[in-house]
Amino acid sequence: MYYLAEAANPPQQKFVDPGNKRYPTLPYYDERHFDDLHAVASVEPVREQDKVMLGMLSSLGIGHGLNFSPDEKTKKAMRQAAIDAWFYMQYWYDNFPKEKLYWPDRHYASLLQADDNKTFTFIYEDRIDLINRAAEYFWCTYMPKVLSDSPATQYLMCMADKDGNLLEAGQTYKLTVPAKMPVKQFWALTVYNRDTMSFIYSESERTTLSSYDLGKMKENADGSVTLYVGPKAPEGLENNWIPTSGKRPLPAMRFYGPTDELNLKTFKLADFERV
């Protein structure tokens, strides 16, 4: 891209390969959160549903044409507010509403927790659903405009093991994936860090195992494959293992091109089991 005035002599195009670089894209849950908030709120247009919040934030100097320069007392309060919000949302997910589980007798939740209108605005005629909106955007960044009855992808997030116990850091869990999965394209198990909702980085750089790895993994006699999530690989099953590196895991079974079996819930995925 360049200015039209430079069309006769355009600058050389630059190409950047980010493949081996890491960029700090996660939200901060301390006083830096408000720096990011001001950077956005000072330039973006204000929607109707934002006006009450922007009215409150203006008292901090956040908003269009305002000077954001909090003193030390205010920074301390903002820091604690962001920390409290993080703990509140973690508590919410630790007590995930049972009626929102994908299958009543399993412990999975769809990543796409749409509102009653199958959208992700959480705006109704009589209210804005603040808690469910916060919960959805706490663990996910980009959502479709409308959630269809047959979405192109479906991520089922493991909220607890088969006994209903929350997953813990330092423990090993297993999941047996059947030979026939309800997908037109492929399936993938990605293990996220429950603290940040992002990848768990490790020396192996492995965050995911998928149906593309079946030739490398040890399969069961019936064609199924048992995957392991934990700090250490079970002996002889290194290719079936996703490391957690001391972090609390948030496994996500990702279905690409899910079939009606999944969409109509006639297929059920087994729960994770603690090893």
Predicted pLDDT of residue 160: 98
Q: Is residue 2 part of a domain?
A: no
CATH number, position 53: 1.10.3360.10
- Per-residue pLDDT, averaged over 172-179, amounts to 98
- The answer on 236 and 163 residing in a single domain is yes
How confident is residue 2, by pLDDT bands cut at 50, 70 and 90?
very high
Q: Which two tokens stand for residue 270?
A: 């087994």
- The answer on 259 and 155 residing in a single domain is yes
Predicted pLDDT of residue 24: 81
pTM: 0.90
Q: pLDDT > 90: what percent of the chain? A: 93
Q: Give the residue from 188, 197, 191, 189 showing the smallest Cα distance to 171.
A: 191
Least confident of 21-25, 93-97, 179-183: 21-25
Predicted pLDDT of residue 21: 83
Query: How far is residue 197 CA from its own chain's centroid?
Result: 5
Whether 40 has a pLDDT exceeding 90, the answer reads: yes
Q: DSSP code of 178?
A: P
Partners of 109 in the β-ladder: 157
DSSP H or E stretch at residue 187: strand 183-193
- The answer on 160 and 79 residing in a single domain is no
- Look up the domain containing 268 and give its range: 150-274
How confident is residue 20, by pLDDT bands cut at 50, 70 and 90?
confident
Whether 22 has a pLDDT exceeding 90, the answer reads: no
- The answer on 245 and 167 residing in a single domain is yes
Q: Which residues contact 212 (CB under 8 A, 6 or more apart)?
A: 186
> In whole angstroms, what is the distance from residue 1 CA to residue 14 CA?
10
* Alpha helix stretches (DSSP H) within the chain: 32-41, 51-57, 72-94, 130-139, 260-263
- Per-residue pLDDT, averaged over 9-20, amounts to 91
Q: Is residue 75 part of a domain?
A: yes
Predicted pLDDT of residue 1: 86
Q: How far is CA 46 from CA 58, 115, 119, 134, in A?
A: 13, 22, 20, 18
Q: Is residue 190 part of a domain?
A: yes
- Per-residue pLDDT, averaged over 208-220, amounts to 97
Where is the domain boundary, 50, 70, 93? 93
- The answer on 87 and 163 residing in a single domain is no
Number of structural domains (the chain) is 2
- The answer on 178 and 86 residing in a single domain is no
- The answer on 263 and 157 residing in a single domain is yes
Q: Are 275 and 228 in contact (CB under 8 A)?
A: yes
Q: Is residue 18 part of a domain?
A: no
Average pLDDT, the chain: 96
Q: Is residue 127 part of a domain?
A: no
- Per-residue pLDDT, averaged over 95-101, amounts to 97
- The answer on 264 and 180 residing in a single domain is yes
- The answer on 270 and 156 residing in a single domain is yes
CATH number, position 258: 2.60.120.600
- The answer on 159 and 250 residing in a single domain is yes
| 52-78 per-residue burial string, b: 16 or more CB within 10 A, e: under 16 | eeeeebeebebbeeeebebeeeeeeeb
Q: Is residue 265 part of a domain?
A: yes
- Per-residue pLDDT, averaged over 76-87, amounts to 97
Q: Are 173 and 228 in contact (CB under 8 A)?
A: yes
CB count in 10 Å sphere of residue 227: 21
- The answer on 195 and 263 residing in a single domain is yes
Least confident of 20-24, 119-123, 158-162: 20-24
Q: How many CA atoms lie within 13 A of 139 on its CB side?
A: 27
Locate tokens 């603040």: which residue? 130
Please give the angle made by the CA atoms of 144, 190 and 29, to the nearest 5 degrees. 70
- Per-residue pLDDT, averaged over 217-233, amounts to 97
Q: Is residue 110 part of a domain?
A: no
Predicted pLDDT of residue 23: 79
- The answer on 249 and 168 residing in a single domain is yes
Q: DSSP code of 146?
A: B
Q: Is residue 234 part of a domain?
A: yes
